Amino acid sequence: MSAPLLELRDLRRSVRLPSREELHILRGIDLTVESGDHVAIVGRSGSGKTTLLNLLGLIDHQTGGELLFDGVDVSRLGDRRRARLRGASIGFVFQQFNLLEGRTALENVMMPLMYGSAGQFWRREKLALEMLERVGLADRAQQLPSRLSGGEQQRVAVARALVRRPRLILADEPTGALDVTTGEAVMALLDEIARESDAALVTITHDLQVAALSRRSYLLDEGVLSGVGSDRARDALSATVGIRAGREAVAAPSADDPAQTAPLQETQA
C-alpha cells in the first residue's frame, strides 16, 4: 500500500518572541491528505492558517512532530532537496494572485517551467498555452495582468500553480479578493483541475461557503485542528463567532441566514 500524500503527526510550530516568551502557534496537528482529496481549513484571523500552509508548502520548518510527504519525513531533507520537492510537487495560489507585473499572462504561466525538467523547459511555451486554454484564457495570453480582471488574474495564477502538474495544491484565501460568483467559479476550476490530475487540494479560507465546496472541512482554532461537526469545532465556532455551528452550517450554508454564510472573521462580535 502506498503512503498518503501528506501525513501530519502532532505537527507543531512555535516561535520565540522578543520578550523571550514562546508563542505556540500550532499545538499538535494530526491530518492525513490523500491524492485527489480536497480539504478545507477554516479559521479566524490569527488562528495559524498561513503558518500551517507554510509548513505544508515546505517553506517553513516545524518545531515539533512529523510531516511526511509521500512517506518521506521532510525534516530530514536538506534545503536543496526541499526546494526541489517544492518546485516539482507543490503549486501555490494566493489571495493577491502574486503575478509578475510587466510580464504577460503567458510569461507568468511559463515561469515555473524555467525550473522544471529539461523536457518541460523546452516545451514551456506550449505547456503554458495549454494550461491557459484549460482555464479559459488562451485568447488573453499576451495580456499584462494589469489589463485583466481580478477573476482572470486568479485564473492565470491557477494556471501558473498547475502548469507543472503538482501533486499538492495549496491555496491561501484564493477567493479573498474576488466577488462571490467569481470566487465560486475559481474554486470550481481549481477543484476540477486538481481532480483531473489526481492532485490533492488544501484550501485555507475564512469563508464557510468556500469550505463547503471541499470534501472535508476542518476548523483551526488557537493552533488546534478539529473536524467540522466535532464537539470541539462546534464549541469553538459558537464561542468565538457566535454563529450556529456544526456540520450543517458548513456543509450547506443557507442563503437566508446571513450569519451562516458570512466570513468567520467578520462575524466576530
Ligand X SMILES: Nc1ncnc2c1ncn2[C@@H]1O[C@H](COP(=O)(O)OP(=O)(O)OP(=O)(O)O)[C@@H](O)[C@H]1O
Q: Which residues bind Mg ion (CB under 5 A)?
A: 49-50
Amino acid code (one letter) for 253: P
* Shorter beta-carbon distance to ligand X: residue 46 or 71: 46
The DSSP letter of residue 1 is -
| 4, 33, 41, 43: which one binds ligand X (CB under 6 A) | 43
- Whose Cβ is closer to ligand X: residue 47's or residue 260's? 47
CB-CB contact of 34 with 200 (8 Å): yes
Q: How far is the CB of 165 from Mg ion (least distance, A)?
A: 26
> Could you say whether residue 45 binds ligand X (CB under 6 A)?
yes
Q: Binding of ligand X at residue 50 (CB under 6 A)?
A: yes
CB of 143 to ligand X, least distance (A): 30
Q: Which residue is nearest to Mg ion (CB)?
A: 50
Applying CB under 6 A, does 229 fall inside the site for ligand X?
no
Find all residues with CB under 8 Å of 107, minimum gap 6, and list them. Answer: 100
Question: Which CB, 43 or 183, lies closer to ligand X?
Answer: 43
Distance CA 181, CA 29 (A): 32
Q: Name which of 240, 267, 239 is nearest 253 in CA terms.
A: 267
Determine if 263 is a binding residue for ligand X (CB under 6 A): no
CA distances from 214 to 152, 184, 211 (A): 22, 12, 6
Stretch that binds ligand X, among 49-57, 124-132, 151-159, 207-215 (CB under 6 A): 49-57
- Alpha carbon 8 to its chain centroid, in Å, reads 16
Residue numbers 20-39 binding ligand X by CB under 6 A: 23, 25
- Identify what 38 binds: ligand X, Mg ion, none; CB under 5 to 8 Å per kind: none
* The three cell numbers locating residue 105: 499572462
75 binds ligand X, rule: CB under 6 A: no
193 vs 163: CA distance, rounded Å:
11
Cα radius of gyration (the chain): 19
Smallest gap from Cβ 188 to ligand X, in A, equals 23
Give least dist CB 206 to ligand X, A.
Answer: 6
109 vs 208, which CB is nearer to ligand X? 208
Q: Which is nearer to Mg ion, 50 or 205 (CB)?
A: 50
Q: How far apart are alpha carbons 125 and 111 in whole angstroms?
A: 10
Q: Which does 46 bind (CB under 5 to 8 A by kind): Mg ion, ligand X, none?
A: ligand X
Tell me which residue has cell 500553480.
Answer: 161
Q: Is 48 in the site for ligand X (CB under 6 A)?
A: yes
Per CB under 6 A, does 96 bind ligand X?
no
Buried b (16+ CB within 10 A) or exposed e, 220-256: bbebbbbebbeeebbebbeebbebebbeebbeebeee
Asked if 175 interacts with ligand X (CB under 6 A), we say no
Record the cell numbers describing residue 54, joined without a space.
507554510
Q: How far is the CB of 269 from ligand X (least distance, A)?
A: 18
Write out the residues near ligand X by the rule CB under 6 A.
15, 23, 25, 43, 45-51
